[in-house]
Structures are given as C-alpha cells and as structure tokens.
Structure 1
C-alpha cells in the first residue's frame, strides 16, 4: 500500500474544494484511487465540523484509540 504525505492529502482535498470536478476526476488526474481521495475528503469535512452527525474528527478518533488501549 502506498503512503501519501499529509501535505499531498491536503493539496488533493484543496483541489477538490476549488474545482467543479468530481472527486473521481481529480483522483484520476493525480493518479490516486478515488476511494482514497473520497475517504480523505470526508475525514477533512469531519475535522472541520461539516461531517455527518456522529462522525468523529481525527482528534476524536485518536483519543478514542488511545483510551481503548
């Protein structure tokens, strides 16, 4: 599995936000999986407080993971 930097992910998400292209089209242009980009995009929305009700932000997921250990 290929790992992408946080900067790459932020730039990819910003590209989706700044264009009228679909996530799939942007992913194709960047040479990445649409599923990955879609996942990053949804998580970024949750982190901004724009996610679905009950969806956890990254900080909340990390805290929950830490508490479970």
Structure 2
C-alpha cells in the first residue's frame, strides 16, 4: 500500500531530470536512483516530455491535449 502523502516536484526539477537522461549515457532508472526519486515517476515525465516535443510514439497525448480533455470533462 502506498503512502498517503504524495511528494510534488516543480516543473523545473522535472525538466532538469529528463534533460539529465537525454544528456547522459545513463538509464532512466540510474538517473532516478541518483536523484532519489521513483524510476516510474521519471519514466512518466520523460515520456510526457517526448510527447510534448512531438517524439512520442503510440498515440501519447501532449500536455496541451491532456489539458483540453480535462477542461471538457
């Protein structure tokens, strides 16, 4: 069972984290370990960043598309 407290990260921290993945030969898991964050969180941020840059595969939605869907609901 997960913690009832969710740690929040700034957009700047997220950008820096996935930039580190892009600029190094390290895996997402290795970078996540170094930053002491969940590898699944970093993987999700990385996937979303790629989709926002138009590099996402398999129909990933951009952040703008996700925001629009939320507004419609």
TM-score by length of 1: 0.95
Matches within 5 A, 1:1-69: 1-68=6-73
Quick one: distance in 2 between partners of 1:10 and 1:49? 16
The count of residues paired between Structure 1 and Structure 2 equals 68
Point out where structure 1 has 5 or more consecutive residues left out of the alignment.
none
- What do residues 5-35 of structure 1 show as CA deviations (whole Å, max 9, x unaligned)? 0000000010000001000000000000000
TM-score by length of 2: 0.90
Match of 2:3 in 1: none
Point out where structure 2 has 5 or more consecutive residues left out of the alignment.
1-5
Runs of 4+ in 1 over 2 A off after TM superposition: none
Q: Which stretch has the larger CA shift, 50-59 or 1-10?
A: 50-59
Task: Give the CA RMSD over aligned residues.
Answer: 0.7
